[in-house]
Amino acid sequence: MSLKPKLSYFNYRGSAEPIRYLLAYGNIEYEDCRFADEEFPKLKPTFPYGQVPVLEIKGKMIPQTLAICRYLAKQSGLYGKDDFEAMQIDAVADAIIDLRNAVWLAYWITPEDERAPLVEKLTKETLPFYLSRFEKAIRENNGYFVNGNISYADIVLAGQLESLSDSTKYDITDGYPLIKALVKKVENLPRIKAWIEKRPKTDG
- Would you say 97 or 196 has its CB closer to its own copies? 97
Please state the closest distance from residue 150 (CB atom) to its own copies, in A: 18
Contact map string, positions 74 to 103, toward its own copies, x by CB under 8 A: xx-------xx-xxx-xx-xxx--x-----
Question: 34-61: buried (b, 16+ CB within 10 Å) or exposed (e) per residue?
Answer: eeeeeeeeeeeeebeeeebbbbbbeeee
Query: Segment contacting its own copies (CB under 8 A): 12-20, 29-37, 48-56, 177-185?
Result: 48-56
Residue 39 binding its own copies, by CB under 8 A: no
- Residues 6 or more apart whose Cβ sits within 8 Å of residue 10: 16, 34, 35, 36, 37, 40, 52
Please state the closest distance from residue 139 (CB atom) to its own copies, in A: 14
* Residue in 35, 33, 17 with CA at minimum distance from that of residue 72: 17
Please state the closest distance from residue 203 (CB atom) to its own copies, in A: 27
* Residue in 18, 9, 23, 94 with CA at minimum distance from that of residue 52: 9
- Would you say 84 or 170 has its CB closer to its own copies? 84
- Would you say 95 or 186 has its CB closer to its own copies? 95
Residue 112 binding its own copies, by CB under 8 A: no
CA–CA dist 194, 85 (Å, integer) = 29
Burial class (CB in 10 A: 0-12, 13-18, 19+), 63: middle
Task: Name the residues that contact its own copies, by CB under 8 A.
Answer: 48-50, 57-58, 60, 62-64, 66-68, 70-71, 74-75, 83-84, 86-88, 90-91, 93-95, 98, 129-130, 133
